[in-house]
Amino acid sequence: MHHNSALVEARIRRFLDERLRPAVEVSTTPLDLTSWQAPGEPVPLAAAVAQEFTPLRVGAAWGRAWSTMWIRITGVVPEVQAGQQAELVFDLGFNAAEPGFQSEGTVYRIDGSIVKAVEPRNAHVPLDAAAGEPFELYLEAAANPDVAGGWDFQPTALGAWDTAGDEPLYRLRRADVVVRDLSAWELLQDAVVLQGLMGQLPEASPRRAEILAALERMVDAADPDDITGSIDAARDTLAAVLARPASGSAHAVHAVGHAHIDSAWLWPVRETQRKVARTFSNVLSLQHEDPDFQFAASSAQQYAWMKQYQPELFARLRDAIAAGRFHPAGGMWVESDTNMPGGEALARQFLHGKRFFLEEFGVEPLDVWLPDSFGYSAALPQIARAAGSRWMLTQKMSWNETNVMPHHTFHWEGMDGTRIFTHFPPVDTYNARLTSDELARAERQYAEKGAANTSLVPFGYGDGGGGPNREMLAAAARLRSLEGSPTVELSSPRRFFEAAEAEYVDPPVWTGEMYLEFHRGTYTSQARTKRGNRRSEHALREAELWATAAALRGAPYPYEELQEAWETVLLQQFHDILPGSSIAWVHREAELRYAEVLASTERIIAGSLTVVAGSGDTELRANAGPYAGGGSAAMGIAAVQGPEISATVARTTSGFELENEHLTVLIDGAGLITSLVVRATGRQAIAAGERGNLLQLHRDTPTQWDAWDIDEHYRRHVVDVTDVVSIDIIPHASAAVVCVIRELGGSRITQALTLHPDSHALDIETTVDWHERQKLLKLAFPLDVHTERATSEIQFGHIHRPTHANTSWDMARFETVAHRWVHVGEPGFGVAVANDSTYGHDMTRTPRAGGGTATTVRLSLLRAPLFPDPDADQGEHTFRVSVRPGASIADAVREGYRLNLPTRDIRGSGPAAPLLAVSSDAVVVEAVKLAEDRSGDLIVRLYEAHGGRTAARITAAFEFDGVIETDLIEREIEPTALSGVSNGDVEVELRAFQLVTLRFRRPRL
């Protein structure tokens, strides 16, 4: 048999492009258009329609970056024949960029209801009027710029309104009423699916040859002079190959409609609010056409925006959710980063998210839906299960640069031993289009072959939203059971997870964090955003504690103000805001919102302390931390006691000596620590021949993804910052303080090294006026500690990571995240390094003078990436770090809280006893608040912090009728830690790192 497959395939492609695609549109009629350009920020339809609209022609330039143009659209619905459909089609000036990364629009009826969006590859709008009837619609066209610019990571001015320029970015190319031939469109979908499948089959496959022959017969059957008249004959040629069912062993795909919508990224939050409306309206329109279509969307925040800004659309969402076709997913307020949010903040992501879904829709998502976050904390399994979740989905681990995750369906075990059933889709994308190459990849890469055979494919345009289109659903219908392809079932997250769990009853276990070997720079970029998050988390803890204490004394509890503050913080923990990977607009706004949170919490704290401490002029010290400090008990208020002793500072021939009863510190003339000795033991903490407090400047030029990445090659380019402009003693009433000023390029660095009288740690405050570009600033402490692992605080506990690079997994973990402290130790001696706003660290083994190894701890203070914000991190920053030698893990925990929850001096009538006292230092109270249901019950969240089993007694200074254990949503559960109540004391027994929520039932009036 003679044949030439390449020529046949070329003939088929030309037929599709030149004959069949044009045949889908039977006729086109231009629309009548007028427009009004909004002068600044977007306005609602009601405000727009009152403006003066002027004529608009196709071909007109429009839209300076981030602007909005309203277009009034009028026309008459044309007559159509059987098998035809009339609709509107627009081209706003779409370019080659993906949907969601360029211009897009929303079409409204005059009554304010949304029809659907207009986007690249989904630019049609249905007409709901009868033939011959006039219609009037309004198109809100958003001139969102393509900030990505082809992903060349070049600096761009498009990331803020005031720098983006005034030139129009787009040209209106099309606005027509189109009559569509439905049979021609169906034939096109048949051919596209078969063409795609054929491309995935082996050259020698009989199935491939069969499909090619059928497609060639299709071309033969289609009359080029009468495509419309020959459509049925052409479709008949494909019927047999489309009818062949998939093999019994074919991989089973659950296709879940999805549109990953970043709550901010290369667009501001206000644009996300419109993207959500566009996407959700697209979905509802598509579900009207295809009743089998299921769609899942995460992030309660995005639904809350619809409730606030699009109530008519929100009402339709309610109906679709009630009908079981639209599925709230994830159960979190946003798809947050999981590396940097504090433990209580991650708990609140679920508390606020699930309460919204339950209250608004009566639905509780049982999955954790985090396809795009940049690595996953080992604390997350316990937090998720404590919130009532059963399953988790992630996709991002497929981005690993070095190692391949060994599983796609598995139990993920957290640091405390909690497991959650987890799926990592082998399709390796959360924006699938249901193409044959995607499905073949899912089947090829699926790691569980032989034990299980089911995976999930999230499909739909995403990142910038958009969702599935009708071509994707056409593909799903044809691929439901088709020989040579995995089977495709339109599904939901719950249906998939129930099927996967039933199929794979004993999956493998992945233990510990899922560290993403990529995007390590996100622990450091946009330092002001990170500082705002850390400060806001601790301010909210303090505000809730004192507001609760005040409420127990009769003051009103500020529910609404606290909820608003928390939801701001939770939104800004989204995985492109807190990681520092968004445009300038986003981070400027985030800094403003954090300032509002801190102002709000300061009002609450001040007002509450006035109630708790009373009126008067007695000098008092309020301690919101979980440990005693500053002369006050944990979570209590005490009278201020002046220090009985002072730390001393003296000049030496080589620099300065600082001393108190615990430490002796030597600082040389360059402001570097040459000695840090624990006086009780004489043990030296600084490695021999090395100097601590060393600022180091690295070249920071990632291969790609500037704000996201720190690449390993940064280590090969380093300059030690040792030159001093000035160094001197700063007078202080009781502390020993040395101030060092340095200049570095265009930057100025001021450090205050402080030893307080009763402190076991040296405090270092570093203020940087930063004007470097593509540089990484680290603060190094070479410590005389021999260890194979470093310990880092994460949410509700800590994890150990190797300091060596024995394996490729160890080597890839060259930059890691920690919260308030890191600790390195050997038997009998350790050092804790705490911070108040830093997340990025590296801990390495270095040769030690005299033999053995020392350990260098470095904190990543600042970066200066150029994309997507060319001015990232420019300006002034302040970082507080403490170094505590002779520290245990328990000491490190205390030090982290001391630095992040400093006591505050107030005036009042007298001391106030703590609301709670805990008998064990290992059991840390993380939150004290009133219950969300406003019953007046008191919620206490606590955890075991040292990594071992602990029994503790909790003594309450308030009346309660009983205490129960709850989940994070504050619902009663079977007790796992609560062991009894006697004489008003609550007894608990916690396993290592266990997270416990207690509800103290308050007497009812």
DSSP per-residue codes, 527-585: HHHHHHHHHHHHHHHHHHHHHHHHHTTTPPP-HHHHHHHHHHHHHTTBTTTTTS-S-HH
Q: How many CB atoms lie within 10 A of CB 86?
A: 19
Q: What is the pLDDT of residues 466-500, one digit of tens each?
A: 999 999 999 999 999 999 999 999 999 999 999 99
How far does Cα 171 stand from its chain's mean position? Answer: 35
- Asked whether the beta carbons of 146 and 95 are under 8 A apart, the reply is yes
**Residue 790 to residue 824: CA distance in whole angstroms:** 5
**Residue 650 to residue 234: CA distance in whole angstroms:** 95
Catalytic entry in 337, 372, 700, 763: 372
What integer pLDDT is reported at residue 136 of this predicted model?
A: 98
Q: What 3-state class would DSSP assign to 253?
A: strand
DSSP state of 17: I
Specify which residues 847 forms β-bridges with.
Answer: 853
- Output the CA angle 22-431-457, nearest 5 degrees: 105
Instruction: Look at the pTM and tell me if it is higher than 0.95.
Output: yes
**Residue 979 to residue 991: CA distance in whole angstroms:** 13
Q: Strands of 250-311 (E only): list them.
A: 252-257, 295-297
| Residue 372 among the catalytic residues | yes
Q: How many CB atoms lie within 10 A of CB 85?
A: 15
Q: What 3-state class would DSSP assign to 469?
A: coil
- Output the CA angle 698-700-703, nearest 5 degrees: 145
**Average pLDDT across the chain, whole number:** 97
What integer pLDDT is reported at residue 644 of this predicted model?
A: 74
What integer pLDDT is reported at residue 1005 of this predicted model?
A: 66
Structure tokens at 679: 């006086």
Find, among 349, 277, 356, the residue nearest to 317 by Cα. Answer: 277
Question: Where do runs of H (alpha helix) occur along 682-773?
Answer: none
- Asked whether the beta carbons of 844 and 855 are under 8 A apart, the reply is yes
Q: What is the pLDDT of residues 938-952, one digit of tens each?
A: 999 999 999 999 999
What integer pLDDT is reported at residue 2 of this predicted model?
A: 63
DSSP per-residue codes, 694-720: EEEEEE---SS-TTT---GGGGGSEEE
What integer pLDDT is reported at residue 4 of this predicted model?
A: 87
**Residue 790 to residue 813: CA distance in whole angstroms:** 12
The HSE-up count of residue 626 (CA atoms within 13 Å, CB side) is 27
- Asked whether the beta carbons of 325 and 294 are under 8 A apart, the reply is yes
Residues 432, 438, 444, 448, Cα dihedral to 10°: 20
DSSP state of 391: E
- Asked whether the beta carbons of 388 and 398 are under 8 A apart, the reply is no
Spatial CB neighbours of 369, under 8 Å, sequence gap ≥ 6: 296, 298, 329, 330, 331, 332, 335, 393, 493
**Residue 351 to residue 334: CA distance in whole angstroms:** 12
- Asked whether the beta carbons of 960 and 1003 are under 8 A apart, the reply is yes
**Residue 843 to residue 815: CA distance in whole angstroms:** 8
Long-range contacts, stretch 146-155, CB < 8 angstroms, 24+ apart? 146/95, 146/97, 146/101, 146/102, 147/101, 147/266, 147/267, 147/583, 147/868, 148/97, 148/101, 148/266, 150/97, 151/704, 153/704, 153/705, 153/706, 153/866, 153/867, 154/866, 154/867, 155/866, 155/867, 155/870
What integer pLDDT is reported at residue 1 of this predicted model?
A: 54
Specify which residues 721 forms β-bridges with.
Answer: 695
What integer pLDDT is reported at residue 376 of this predicted model?
A: 98
Handedness of CA 972, 975, 976, 980 (dihedral sign): positive
The HSE-up count of residue 59 (CA atoms within 13 Å, CB side) is 2
Q: What 3-state class would DSSP assign to 492?
A: coil
Peptide bond into 914 cis (omega under 30): no
Question: Where do runs of H (alpha helix) occur along 66-200?
Answer: 182-200
**Residue 691 to residue 674: CA distance in whole angstroms:** 5
- CA end-to-end distance (rounded Å), the chain: 93
Q: Strands of 78-202 (E only): list them.
A: 84-91, 104-109, 114-118, 124-126, 134-142, 170-171, 174-181
**Positions of the chain with pLDDT lower than 70, given as ranges:** 1-2, 1005
